[in-house]
Structure 1
Amino acid sequence: MMETRRSLLEKAKEVLLKQASEGEIYFFVTTCSEDKRGKVWQTTGKNFERAWIKVERYLKKYIVFPKWLKIEFVDSWQEVTADEGKEAFQKIQRNNYFRYGVKFKKDNSFTFMPEEIVGNALLVPHQEHSIVKKDARLQLDEGNMRGYIKRKYQKGLTNPFVSFDESWSFFTKKGIFIEDNKIYPLETEQSGQGIRKIDQENQVEMLDQAIYRGADFLVNQITETGKFVYGYFPAYGKVLRSYNSVRHYSSLYALLEAYEYLREQGTASEEFLEKIEQGLTWGLMNLTQISDGDYYVAEWLKDGVELKLGAQAMVILALSKYQTVTGSKQFLPAMKKFLQGMKSFIDETGATTHVLDEHLQKKEKFRIIYYDGEALFAIMRAYPLVLRNEWLELAERLMNHFIDADYQRYHDHWLSYSVNELTSYVPKRKYFEFGVKNALENLRFIERRDTAYPTMLELVVAAVKMFSRIEELDLGEPLFSSADFSWLRSVMEKRALHELRTGTMWPELAMFFAKPETIAGGFYCRHDRCRMRIDDAEHFLSGLINYRNFRDFSVQDIQELPNEPTISLKEEEPLAVSVIIPVYNREKEIAECLSKLAETTFDKSRMEVLVVDDASTDETVQVIETFRNEFDHLKIIRLAENSGGASVPRNIAIKQAKGKWLLFIDSDDYVTPHAIVDAYNLANERESTDLVCMPYFRAEESSRAISRSAFIYPENVSGLDFLDTKLYNSLNVVGKMVRRSIIINYEIEFPAEIRVREDNWFSMRLYGVVREIAILGNQKEYYFIRDKDNVSLSNYRTPPRDAAKIFFTVFQFIFGLDELSSARKADIMAIYLNRYTKMIKRGKYSPDRVLEKTGQYLSLLKQSPYIDKESKQFIIDLYDAKYEVTE
């Protein structure tokens, strides 16, 4: 054993010596042999040989050679002042993406590698950070720093920061990792920094390792009962206590894919399959509701029972995959009953309802886009096992609805899976067209995404499979070019490497967390506190296994693939602004609106205009057509039936918009020539600006309110927090330029069921999630507003029931945001209640309905410094039952 150790260290020395420079050297040695955080030891030497002697002496203390051993040395130093260091932390956009080690004292007493910083959460994002926003603004955590200094250096410090020098050093490093007597050189590039180097030469080996380890990790999360350990926050060794029926079955589906792959490799065990069967049995016993003989996946929550379309799809997928893989029909009767239950979620047009209550009544029309693709995929995977045309007809009904509703704009991996499956049985050109758009229209984003994102790999692998099939079919005109296909394959290769490097919990990273043996081999989301949920593991596993099964590594080298097709610069540049205008029977007003817009000084090649006609009966559409030559990108969208308001037209336009920024204009208003240029320039002054507001002006004889109190600034201002503005007096959306990604990420839509104050519904959500607001100065005219608002009907008095509904649905939205503190949520809603108290109080049942929907959280608003006297008394009266209770 000692000879093996000696020879192994000699080889390690040889590898490290080739990487090292002459002169003084700084070594880190990290060891780990059990399920607790690895031990980091550090030393220096005047040269490599002297320092290496110290390393060998240190390792001789280990009677048993460490299970995992990492030896690294500092490659470069950069001195910074303490203030410069803190500023560097603040500039980091994503949590856990600071890639340097830090030496806080010249005597080396407080020096931490990047993995130590991540594994011990020494840098944390600001309190209101959300993972969907690139605004981590990292800062040192005093408590975590104190705890780790005590563990590493055996020093108890009340305030460690006062012990730091005024001058710090950032550093990079190189090194090796040893596991099972094998030496792995470590990656030095930011993507995958600090983990084993993965390149073309060892990609197949590392891919297989990731699949084997990942499958072992996920199956070991199934407890003796059959229920999963839901996940971990590994820096703290914290187990996630929540649960999710969708992810229970989707994880079992991924494990069945893994079992199938391992069986083909000759490495699958019976115990592996038995655990999957335990998971299926637990789900059927504990997550099933029976209604009229049909089966539904049910979750019993505090506010009632939920039957989710996604869970219904996933149980069908898991049970059908089990039969396909094993040949056993033991779960076939149950699968058929779940399949029958699927009909309750899909109407005769193919439209879906995402969440039902226990009585099969609609609870939530839409929750997340994944559910729809999952449903179609599940039906198609079950179809060959039941072979009844009704299911193929239902699948086509869903698919046709997806096409009519432009679902390809969601670029969802489940849609990619489902289209590929459906076209195996029904190879219609329009279905293939949908699949091609679903893949190609978002491919540049997929290629450039910096974080691990396994569903993107799943999407492109399924798309490559479909593209390969299309090439074998005669579908008439080509659906894509050879350059498109080459680019798609190139992105597939890049994503596969990227997921291996950035999302796999290799042991050389796991050893820095609280329970390394528990988490090693799993998969993680770095920017969400290195979260490791079962759904993270299932998506990585499915993506990597499908990629491994499809890819023939001997045929084509990654470097032979072009990065992207050759396209013109104009096509490459994304549109900057999308102007959205709903219109109904306004032939004269829309002419003036578009004439004024055509005078804009903004570059029209970077602007699109989306005019949505709500089934006008006059000459409105013909008037709009005359402006075709005035704009580079004019899109006219005609609705077949009048929707009764601006909400539906605006929602349709948002879904089709391509601009980075959205600007809302009403058809009977207009903007001045300089408005868009000024707003766009102000929007881009600060990276964190999400909303730019234009002051309004009106005709001299007009009595229309124009929210002067919200636009009090003579000059442009930016960096505003909503709480510091008076935008609660400007809850309409016109004249507002908003970052489109905010609306998409938070799924903010206008309400189709409310005809008044629909702008309030939208803006009150928007103000709650934007990072910073900018307001144009009021010395220039920007947005002309007419005397009457004929589109949104907001000149009608608000029914109390609608006011109550707007308030409590916004309340539920704001209080459902994990990224906001409780105090901020209360402050935002206190401001809104000040505006809505009088309207709500007018209704007989509305006050009690608000209390019913907001519950105990409403009382938090009383503590807010923003609450006014009337609203505070209103809350007190509600809790004192002074309003009649709704029956």
Structure 2
Amino acid sequence: MSELTNLQQFNTAIERFLTKKQLEWMSTIPVPEIKGRKKAIVFISIGQLNQRAKVFRQSSNHSFQQAVQKVLEQVQKWVRKNQPNLSSIKIDFVHDIKQISYKDLEKMILQYKKNYFRYGISFNEDFSLSFLEQEINGNAFIRESKQGKLAIDETNIRHYLKINRYKIFNFNLRLLSRRPFYLFNTYGFFFNMLEDRKWIELYSGELTNGIRKIPNLKREIERIIKKSTYYLKRQVQFSGKFNYGYFSAFAKNIGTYNILRHASSLYSMLEGYEVIKDKKILDAASKSLKYLIDFSLIYKDRQTAYIVDQANDHEIKLGSNATAILAITKYTTVSNDDSYMVYAKHLANGILSMKDPNDNHFYHVLKYPEFETKEKFRIIYYEGEAIFALLRLYQIDRDEKWLEAVKDYFEIFIAEDYWKYHDHWLSYAVNELTDHVPEDKYFQFGLKNCSERLEFIYHRNTTFPTFLELTMAAYKMVKKIKQMDKGYLLDGFNESFLNKTIDKRAEYQRVGFMYPELAMYFKVPELVLDGFFIRHHSFRVRIDDVEHNLSGYIQYLLYRIPDLDEQEQKIPYLLEV
């Protein structure tokens, strides 16, 4: 890219921002004050796909317009000199400045979950040493100390200043703490140079700060499904193995692997293929399925197979057999290639072989090659996955033994009040079971599995993607109950609150999507762009984090969105949080 073209691209984007309407907006927002003096502060962040955003800051004692002009001159000079491969631009206007002492800041930080501190911080009065909230979290400025408590990390701040700001700066928290610090919020706007090429307004709020506002939920969810499906596709290596994931702040590769998550992520990628219909996704899925079979499937006898987790002590997990069946049956359905179905049947025999004859519960983990019990119980998910997998297999081959096994096991679920676990896999399974055996007891179980958890789900401040999967399974069941004229089953069930919760979670889950306006602040943005992350796990982007979000959104797009009118699709649910 030539110097002229590079700088022209930046200037063109800025021209689109500095419209008459935007200039009027800048003139109307109050200029914040520090100790009685006006201080208009503007940040501009320059994004590149292969490195952290470069952040510039300027201030004015008069107006935001003047601060914008000052910072633009600084950025233009840097662009002309350094010729960055521009991918995005973000502009932030500081508002709501609050003075705070270092001791009070320390106490405040302790009240937050890891990476949930959502304020910018200035360590001095003139804001020459100030950082956006995204810089703070994207560089782990607040992390657990040796004592296990959250605290400001001087080492990470010094490193960031040396590399990204002033080449070198002797950041000394002890000396700086003698004077007040300042917390602040921002009004943000984002421009993607690689697509869209239009300015997007961002939310300004503690839980939602920096995430784009959207005009239409349906179009955005379609976009997210497409982006996250292609993210999974990009993670499939030549061998068929996935790139398992990254800790975003420092682009640290997650060195472990879990074959169960390989299979379940493959399953959700195939769900994405059903929506997108791009053969490249199916080709990647075929390669990934072949890897699963070639490197993990073993036989105990000619009809009984298991998936062995080679990377985790050669364990045979009930859930691994189940997710492998889910992947195979979904692949068979979308590709019309039934060459893998024999493996699905043998893996289902493996599931049935893991049943304890004494209490009819499944063994959760066996040791390989001994095929002896390692753990009778590990995690509740395995049982729901197993039942769901048997039902998906039954849907294709109609072998009654799979359905009978499911019905037998549901007697245990009902007798032992398994609804209290609120497991999304159980919701999937019971909803599927009612397609074949529409008995009241199964509907009642499914409704209770969700209803007793709704209040918690509605108010939860972590994205927790399986909540959308759980509630969407209940939503589909409610529709089925009405279609079957079994409305009496809904007596006492708060359907309107279910719908409200689903819509709120669908919008709020976007807070966990790695939009470019957030990815730009991590070490290597292109590694994590378009994935889903777990904020309190060091912004971890792992294939199963993507999987659960993707599956939930696909269910929402296919079954909830059609029931919303255009006005309802524009409701800004994030504002209710």
- Tell me the TM-score normalized by structure 2: 0.90
Query: Secondary structure of the residue that 2:235 maps to in structure 1?
Result: coil
Consecutive unaligned residues in structure 1, runs of 5 or more: 130-136, 564-887
The code of the aligned residue for 1:50 comes to Q
1:276 aligns with 2:276: no
The code of the aligned residue for 1:38 comes to A
Q: Tell me how far apart the structure 1 counterparts of residues 146 and 261 of structure 2 sit (CA, whole Å).
A: 28
Query: Secondary structure of the residue that 1:543 maps to in structure 2?
Result: helix
Residue matched to 1:168: 181
1:495 aligns with 2:511: no
Q: CA deviation at 1:33?
A: 2.2
Q: Choose which of 66, 78, 88 in structure 1 pairs with 2:86.
A: 66
1:120 aligns with 2:139: yes
Query: Secondary structure of the residue that 1:523 maps to in structure 2?
Result: coil
Q: CA deviation at 1:539?
A: 0.3
Q: Tell me how far apart the structure 2 counterparts of residues 557 and 402 of structure 1 sit (CA, whole Å).
A: 41
Alpha-carbon contact 2:258-2:311 (below 8 Å) kept: no
Gap change, CA 1:208 and 1:282, over 3 Å in 2 = same
Gap change, CA 1:107 and 1:5, over 3 Å in 2 = closer
Query: Secondary structure of the residue that 2:211 maps to in structure 1?
Result: coil
Query: Secondary structure of the residue that 2:94 maps to in structure 1?
Result: strand
Max radius of gyration: which structure?
Answer: 1
Residue matched to 1:420: 431
Q: Tell me how far apart the structure 2 counterparts of residues 96 and 251 of structure 1 sit (CA, whole Å).
A: 26
Q: CA deviation at 1:465?
A: 0.3
Query: Secondary structure of the residue that 1:241 maps to in structure 2?
Result: coil
Alpha-carbon contact 1:490-1:558 (below 8 Å) kept: no
Alpha-carbon contact 1:344-1:360 (below 8 Å) kept: no
Q: Tell me how far apart the structure 2 counterparts of residues 209 and 410 of structure 1 sit (CA, whole Å).
A: 32
Residue matched to 1:236: 250
The code of the aligned residue for 2:40 comes to I
Q: CA deviation at 1:556?
A: 7.3
Gap change, CA 1:128 and 1:225, over 3 Å in 2 = farther
Q: Choose which of 182, 187, 191 in structure 2 pairs with 1:178.
A: 191
CA RMSD of aligned residues (A): 2.2
Residue matched to 2:362: 352
1:9 aligns with 2:14: yes
Q: Choose which of 234, 255, 260 in structure 2 pairs with 1:246.
A: 260
Q: Tell me how far apart the structure 1 counterparts of residues 205 and 151 of structure 2 sit (CA, whole Å).
A: 23
Residue matched to 2:235: 221
Residue matched to 1:26: 41
Residue matched to 2:50: 35
Matches within 5 A, 1:520-559: 520-550=529-559, 551-552=561-562, 554-555=564-565, 558=568
Residue matched to 2:382: 371
Q: CA deviation at 1:149?
A: 1.7
Alpha-carbon contact 2:118-2:207 (below 8 Å) kept: no
How many residues matched?
544
Gap change, CA 1:380 and 1:518, over 3 Å in 2 = same
Alpha-carbon contact 2:157-2:171 (below 8 Å) kept: no
Residue matched to 1:567: none
Query: Secondary structure of the residue that 1:552 maps to in structure 2?
Result: helix
1:87 aligns with 2:76: no
Which whole-Å deviations, capped at 9, do the CAs of 1:335-368 have from their partners, x for residues lacking one?
1211221111224564111011223222101100
1:148 aligns with 2:160: yes
- Tell me the TM-score normalized by structure 1: 0.59
Matches within 5 A, 1:189-588: 189-198=205-214, 201-263=215-277, 268=278, 270-293=279-302, 294-300=304-310, 304-347=313-356, 350-358=360-368, 359-475=370-486, 478-481=488-491, 484-500=494-510, 502-550=511-559, 551-552=561-562, 554-555=564-565, 558=568
Query: Secondary structure of the residue that 1:399 maps to in structure 2?
Result: helix
Which whole-Å deviations, capped at 9, do the CAs of 1:642-697 have from their partners, x for residues lacking one?
xxxxxxxxxxxxxxxxxxxxxxxxxxxxxxxxxxxxxxxxxxxxxxxxxxxxxxxx
Gap change, CA 1:559 and 1:190, over 3 Å in 2 = farther
Q: Tell me how far apart the structure 2 counterparts of residues 489 and 554 of structure 1 sit (CA, whole Å).
A: 10
Q: CA deviation at 1:182?
A: 1.2
1:102 aligns with 2:108: no
Q: Tell me how far apart the structure 1 counterparts of residues 14 and 206 of structure 2 sit (CA, whole Å).
A: 27
Query: Secondary structure of the residue that 1:522 maps to in structure 2?
Result: coil
Gap change, CA 1:42 and 1:560, over 3 Å in 2 = closer
Query: Secondary structure of the residue that 2:257 maps to in structure 1?
Result: coil
Alpha-carbon contact 2:56-2:71 (below 8 Å) kept: no
> Is the deviation greater in 408-417 or in 391-400?
391-400
Alpha-carbon contact 2:55-2:165 (below 8 Å) kept: no
Which whole-Å deviations, capped at 9, do the CAs of 1:439-469 have from their partners, x for residues lacking one?
1011111111111110000000111001110
Amino-acid identity (%): 35
Q: Tell me how far apart the structure 2 counterparts of residues 128 and 474 of structure 1 sit (CA, whole Å).
A: 59
Residue matched to 1:777: none
Q: CA deviation at 1:190?
A: 2.1
Residue matched to 1:849: none
Gap change, CA 1:400 and 1:544, over 3 Å in 2 = same
Which whole-Å deviations, capped at 9, do the CAs of 1:804-849 have from their partners, x for residues lacking one?
xxxxxxxxxxxxxxxxxxxxxxxxxxxxxxxxxxxxxxxxxxxxxx
The code of the aligned residue for 2:309 comes to E
* RCO comparison, higher one (Cα < 8 Å, 6+): 2
Q: CA deviation at 1:327?
A: 1.0
Q: Tell me how far apart the structure 1 counterparts of residues 440 and 147 of structure 2 sit (CA, whole Å).
A: 47
Q: CA deviation at 1:75?
A: 1.1
Q: CA deviation at 1:55?
A: 3.4
Q: Tell me how far apart the structure 2 counterparts of residues 383 and 555 of structure 1 sit (CA, whole Å).
A: 36
Q: Tell me how far apart the structure 1 counterparts of residues 570 and 69 of structure 2 sit (CA, whole Å).
A: 45
Q: CA deviation at 1:414?
A: 0.4
Which whole-Å deviations, capped at 9, do the CAs of 1:259-289 have from their partners, x for residues lacking one?
11112xxxx2x22211111111111111122
The code of the aligned residue for 1:203 comes to L
Gap change, CA 1:98 and 1:537, over 3 Å in 2 = same
Q: CA deviation at 1:212?
A: 1.5
Gap change, CA 1:361 and 1:128, over 3 Å in 2 = farther
Alpha-carbon contact 2:202-2:211 (below 8 Å) kept: yes
Gap change, CA 1:354 and 1:16, over 3 Å in 2 = farther
